[in-house]
Structure 1
């Protein structure tokens, strides 16, 4: 599921949630609803390609990933993971597009 969020600076963001409801990907900020919708389309397109995932180990050894577009623009960032297996399972979920792409429109 993609959940849309409008913050007080009038920027739009979305969270992609797994079937059980936890956030697996947070978007960058978009200044228009159109760009926001293009971001979701970009997730659908780029998430299927393993080379679009940047796997990162933070200085404190926590793990996370970024999803990037073909022009290397950041689309979204994952939550923090403590195990490579869990991180890779979340990437597989994003890749499979098994999440619901419905949007809330109650802002």
Structure 2
């Protein structure tokens, strides 16, 4: 499920897996409509391997970004202790995002 949240006067979303764990977080958007467009972009681009960017942080942990076809980051994962966690996270985004419902939370 996507949770769409308002923080101050901006909006952002997270994608949660079936067990409630956050698997992808967005940037902040100025409008709710822009955040919903971000969700649509996640749903559109999550099936394309080229849109996932795997990274290693300076602390040795791993994470990934999902990018749109123009290279803009749509969402970022949590940090994983092992590189295998990135693969699992990407698979979870692919599985959950395309048909995930959008829930607006306060």
* TM-score bracket for this pair, using the shorter chain length: over 0.9
**1:23-42 alignment, distance < 5 Å:** 23-42=22-41
User: 2: CA distance between counterparts of 1:19 and 1:106?
Assistant: 17
> Within 5 A, what are the aligned runs for 1:9-88?
10-88=9-87
Following TM superposition, the consecutive aligned residue runs of length 4 or more in structure 1 with deviations greater than 3 angstroms are 97-100
How many residues align? The count is 106
Q: Secondary structure at the match of 1:104?
A: strand
The two structures, once aligned, show a CA RMSD in angstroms of 1.5
Q: TM-score, normalised by structure 1?
A: 0.91
Structure 2 unmatched ranges of 5 or more: none
Q: Provide the TM-score with structure 2 as the length reference.
A: 0.92
Which residue number corresponds to residue 6 of structure 1? 6
- Say whether the 8 Å CA contact 2:43–2:98 is kept in structure 1: no
* Bigger share in strand: 2
Within 5 Å, which residues of 2 pair with 1:86-97? Answer: 86-97=85-96
Q: Could you say if the C-alpha distance between residues 13 and 94 of structure 1 is closer, same or farther in structure 2, counting changes exceeding 3 Å?
A: same
Offset of residue 79 of structure 1: 0.3
